Amino acid sequence: MVSAPFLYAVLLLAVPVAAIVMFSFWSQSYLDLDTTLTLKNYREAAADPIYGQLLARSLWISLVVTVITVVTAFPIAYFISFHVAPGHKSLWIFLVTIPFWTSYLIRVFLWKVILGYNGVLNSGLLGIGVIDAPLTFILYNLNAVVITLAHAFAPFAILPIFVSLERIDRSLLEAALDLGETKVSAFLRVTLPLAMPGIVAAVLIVFIPTIGDYVTPRLVGGPGGLMIANMIQTQFLKLNNAPMGAALAVIAMIMVTVVATAFVLLNRRFLKGRS
Amino acid sequence: MRGGGLRIYAVIYLVFLYLPILLLPVFAFNSSTIIAFPLASFTTEWFAELPRVPALRDALWVSLKIAVLTALVSTLLGVCAARAAARYRFAFKGTIMGLIMLPLVLPEIIVAVSLLVVFLQIGLPLGSLTVVLGHVLICTPFCVAILNGAFQSLDISLEEAAIDLGETGWSTFRLIILPLVMPGIISSLLIAFTISMDEFIIAFFLSGSEATLPVYLWGQLRFPQRLPVVMALGTLLVLASVVLLTIAEVARRRGVARRGQQDNGGFL
Amino acid sequence: MALISLSGIDKYYGTYHALRDISLEIEGGEFFSLLGPSGCGKTTLLRTIAGFETPDKGVLTIDGRDMARVSANRRPTNMVFQSYAIFPHLTVAQNVGFGLRRSDLTKAEKAREVGAALEMVGLGGYGARAAHALSGGQRQRVALARALILKPKVLLLDEPLSALDKKMREQMQSELRQLQRQVGITFVLVTHDQEEALIMSDRIAVMFEGEIAQLATPQDLYLRPNSRRVGEFIGMMNLIPGRMDRDGSQMIGDIPGLGRLPIVPDLLTDGQGPGDCTFGIRPESMSLVFNGELPTGKFVDGTVVERAYYGDMTYYEVLLDGGTAPVTCSMKNLVSRPVLDAGARTRLAWEPGALIVFDAA
Ligand SMILES: Nc1ncnc2c1ncn2[C@@H]1O[C@H](COP(=O)(O)OP(=O)(O)OP(=O)(O)O)[C@@H](O)[C@H]1O
Ligand SMILES: [Mg+2]
């Protein structure tokens, strides 16, 4: 029974991913693919600083976005789980998820409208006299990318944290208070460790896709805010150098995997160290 | 009021979440072609212009076709996977389910270029079909996640009771399982449909000359004079999404109620 | 010919040996219970009869037919599940009538059957209710009606009362027993509650670790447990090490602190002879002798070590003069009887012939 979806995933995921790995060892000579295996693309990726810079920037942006998104999402998840009446929880979750289901392109574009030189934010702030010249550091740079991505991935962070908070047996907290913990220390010693699986899931689920985001850097990032996905797209569709694009995609994949694995391992050790 | 400070934070956070969406209709009804404050006057001109753009109609049609197909196929695959995961033990279960769920966390650009490479190599022409193939891949994990909830909460003794009372495996599926997971299936269909309607990157790489709605939109974003129409279109899309999602949520809740359980909330 | 016959049934879950060489026969019209501690394989055995588990070895016949190739939906058995498995999307009547879908009855006949079945379990008029709006006891009745409407040869019940509170459970125990007499169908009940098994059953099979330890009527099981384990599992039992000697044709038990007591030959099993052994004695076979009451049988002096007051009964732990460990005895509380406190001196009388002999520990 599982074979149908599994076969589908193999054919359309495992095979393509394998193909792209293989592709990355080929090379493009003008209009033809040269199918002799070569490390040329990887050498080029290592030699040309633009690639390194893009990769490093993508990684950096993803990390910053992840931290900001998860840190700002946690109180929301906590609020919904601990302070909202049980009957209203699913309504709140619904409210939080709706923006995520509306056109991503348009949402990102609207951030451009909000953050722009004549944008909503600037005209608003000018209007009430907080500033007397439009702010320029908020569009076409990393800040804009970070804000937009943090917005786009908010529900992805809130949901897993919420789920893990919901699973916490409330009597554990009462037991902690009963044993003399303060509310804060009960939170730190009971709630937070028990919410860890959700936080880890949130971190991964935000970190991994953001590193490959294409739309946001293109629309609000300006030249200084481009990320690796933009370069992959350029290689594939503009420069017609699919093998180079494939190599970059593979490098990005490896980077994601390494960072994600390292994070999971570190976290596991951290949790073990405490218990 | 409980959670005072947190509640204020939550409200501010909601404003942040909804800010872009709330601005959509503001500009969609604004007569100025420049998307900025201050606003000019009220107009419905941009909405009126929508049906007059043939490229838009084509793109909408392509997207609808793709989304319906994607929803059907990925929900079917989701039913198979969720049922198997909930009921059977098989070799490498974790690995197999992991692979099926993987697209959920893989950067879409990687899915897109991988598929592109393969489709080009095997000579499959880019178009609606290739987009459907890609969309099914990324929608299936969502369907599995939704349907998992429905299948896992099915008490196995319900099925055994039906068998015990003389039903066969298939009639048990039809009489007991299907009615009980139907709300899950509906919300899975709607969510796959919504994701597919909205998906951009994969469509961008795989749609060839058959632009989907988001691909069409992407092209329009470069022309400042087209932006108000885009805002009008966006408003309608948001409205449609909200309606579909509300239906999905109502269906999900009804399913929870029908199985007589406690509502533990939320999609996914 | 027995209605259900199992012979040499073995069942493995992977390497775990869940049923070990089970052989037993259940007669038509019998109320039969499978009793044992958690994890001993009761449910597995029941599900094997129902057809949800396939034995790895052995033969199961129902009404003379080998069930090996008969799937669960074709067996003349119906089941009441522990969770009741009431279909939540159907009404009470639809639940009860579920098994009639394939019968040739007309709609009206089906409705009549359903009505009668509901009436039988005391739920007349509940047909239109939504199934998930029922209380635990009502769900239990719906499950019963649903299983009985097909008039199975055997009704299988897996801990049907364990989800009910004490009062409800006691009420359902007698109702179930009555219902069984009324319909005359063979009931096979799984329970881990020995009291429940004793109250309801014609015969009980006690299981430990996948094996049947003893199969007997409730009285036999209580009075003549065939092992210490069964004795301890069913009711309360004092276990006292001692010796058994032959005195002419009579067997005599020699217990430190108590002396020599005759053993009823009826309570001896084959192969038990003179030598070290363990004696079992039920708390109610001993009694404290209060002032003014005449002791019957043999009696010994001792000191109350502890007591537990239950309202109708008081349980005393008494250390006999010259004994090594206290024994437990139970006394009915009468108005005329005082309740002794720990430390009180007392006298303990033994019902003659109450000794059960087990192998030495
Ligand atoms: N599907 C299964 N796979 C593996 N082991 C199983 C399975 N079903 C039962 N077992 C094991 O077989 C043993 C007997 O299980 P069974 O359910 O028959 O016990 P039981 O006597 O009904 O106990 P309880 O009173 O707890 O219901 C248990 O140790 C259980 O862990
Ligand atoms: Mg059991």
Do residue B3 and residue A246 have CB atoms under 8 angstroms apart?
no
Quickly list DSSP for C34-59.
EE-STTSSHHHHHHHHHTSS--SEEE
Q: Which of C200, C230, C260 marks a domain boundary?
A: C230
Instruction: Name B66's Cβ contacts closer than 8 Å, sequence gap at least 6.
Output: B128, B131, B132, B135, B196, B203, B212
- Are A97 and B104 an interchain contact pair (Cβ–Cβ within 8 Å)? no
Residues C325 and C253 in one domain: yes
How many whole angstroms separate alpha carbon C193 and alpha carbon C344?
A: 35
pLDDT per residue over C18-40, tens digit each?
999 999 999 999 999 999 999 99
Contact indicator for B127, B61 with CB cutoff of 8 Å: no
Checking ipTM against 0.85, whether it exceeds it is: no
Q: Does A259 touch chain B (CB under 8 A)?
A: no
Tell whether C223 and C241 lie within a shared domain: no
Among the listed residues B196, B176, B199, the one whose alpha carbon sits nearest the alpha carbon of residue B188: B196
Contacts of B195 (CB under 8 A, 6+ apart): B70, B135, B138, B139, B142
What pLDDT score does C65 carry? 93
Question: How close is the Cα of C50 to the center of ligand 2, in Å?
Answer: 14
Where residue A275 falls among pLDDT bands split at 50, 70, 90? low
Q: Which domains does chain B have, with CATH numbers?
A: 54-267 (1.10.3720.10)
Do C177 and C58 fall into the same domain?
yes
Domain count across chain C: 2
Domain boundary among C215, C230, C245: C230
Q: For A172-187, how does the pLDDT look when each residue is reduced to its tens digit (9 = 90+)?
A: 888 888 887 888 888 8
The distance from CA B49 to its chain's CA centroid, rounded to whole angstroms, is 27
d(CA C64, CA C51): 16
d(CA C291, CA C285): 19
pLDDT per residue as tens digits for the range C95-130: 999 999 888 889 999 999 999 999 988 898 898 988
Q: In the beta sheet, which residues pair with residue B140?
A: none
Looking at C188, C208, C230, which one is the last position of a domain?
C230
Is the distance from CB of B78 to CB of A5 less than 8 angstroms?
yes
Rounded Cα distance between B181 and B173, Å, is 10
| Percentage with pLDDT > 70 across chain A | 97
CA-to-CA separations, B249 to A101, B246, C293, in angstroms, rounded: 13, 5, 76
Among B155, B167, B179, beta carbon nearest to C73: B167
Domains, in order of start, for chain A: 3-168+198-274 (1.10.3720.10)
C221 and C181 in a single domain? The answer is yes
Residues contacting C232, CB < 8 A, separation 6+: C239
Q: In this structure, what DSSP letter does residue C338 have?
A: P
In angstroms, rounded to a whole number, what is the distance separating the alpha carbons of residues B167 and C124? 26
Question: Which pair of structure tokens corresponds to residue B6?
Answer: 């947190």
**Looking at the structure, do residues C193 and C256 belong to the same domain, yes or no?**
no
Within B88-200, where are the H helices? 93-101, 108-122, 128-152, 156-164, 169-172, 178-198
The Cα–Cα gap between A165 and A173 comes to: 12
Reply yes or no on whether the pLDDT at B268 is more than 60.
no
pLDDT at B1 over 50: no
- CATH number at C116 reads 3.40.50.300
Please indicate, yes or no, whether residues C349 and C319 belong to a single structural domain of this protein: yes
Q: Among B157, B168, B260, whose Cβ lies nearest the Cβ of C85?
A: B157
Domain assignment of residue C54, given as a range = 4-230
Q: A113 CB near a chain B CB, below 8 Å?
A: yes
Q: Mean pLDDT over residues C176-181, rounded?
A: 92
Phi, psi of C246 (to 5 degrees): -95, 135
Tokens of B2: 């409980």
Residues sharing a CB contact under 8 Å with residue B77, sequence separation 6 or more, in sequence order = A4, A5, A8, B136, B140, B143, B144
Residue B119: Cβ-neighbour burial (10 angstroms; 0-12, 13-18, 19+): buried
Q: From ligand 1's centre to the CA of C193, what distance in Å?
A: 17
- Within 8 A of C131 by CB-CB distance, chain B residues are 260
C326-358 residue pLDDT tens: 999 999 988 888 888 999 999 888 877 788 888
- Distance between CA atoms of A117 and C309, rounded to whole angstroms? 85
Return the axis-axis angle of helices B128-152 and B54-87, rounded to nearest 10°: 40
Q: Does residue C204 share a domain with residue C162?
A: yes
A93, A162 in Cβ contact below 8 A? Answer: yes
Banded pLDDT at A95 (limits 50, 70, 90) = confident
> Residue B265: its pLDDT value, please?
43
Task: Answer yes or no: do C243 and C328 share one domain.
Answer: yes
Residue A55 CB contacts under 8 Å (≥ 6 apart), including other chains? A228, A248, A251, A252, A255
The separation between CA C176 and the C-alpha centre of its own chain, rounded to angstroms, equals 14
**Interhelix angle A104-115/B227-258, nearest 10 degrees:** 130
CATH number assigned to the domain comprising residue C329:
2.40.50.140
Name the strand (E) or helix (H) holding B228. Answer: helix B227-258
Token pair belonging to A109 = 């574009």
Q: What mean pLDDT is reported for chain A?
A: 84
Contact A123, A83 (CB under 8 A): no
- Determine the average pLDDT of the residues in B76-88: 87
Mark whether C254 and C208 lie in a shared domain: no
Instruction: Name every residue whose Cβ is closer than 8 Å to that of residue C143 and which is 6 or more positions away in sequence.
Output: C80, C81, C84, C85, C86, C160
Q: Which residues, judged by CB distance below 6 Å to any ligand atom, belong to the binding site of ligand 1?
A: C 13, 16, 18, 36, 38-44, 192
Contact B6 A75 (CB under 8 A): yes
Distance CA C99, CA B161 (A): 10
Same domain, C124 and C251: no
B8 in helix, strand or coil? helix
Map B13-35 to HEC letters.
Answer: HHHHHHHHHHHHHHHHCECCCCC
Which ligand sits closest to the CA of C14?
1
pLDDT for residue B136 is more than 50: yes
Same domain flag for C68 and C96 = yes
pLDDT number for residue C157: 95
Nearest CA distance, C169 vs chain B (angstrom): 22
**Closest Cβ–Cβ partner in C81, C85, C102 for B166:** C102
Give the separation between CA A231 and CA B253, rounded to whole angstroms: 44
Same domain, C208 and C331: no
- DSSP β-ladder status, C31-35 and C203-208: parallel
Torsions phi, psi for C111 (to 5 deg)? -60, -40
* pLDDT score at C218: 96
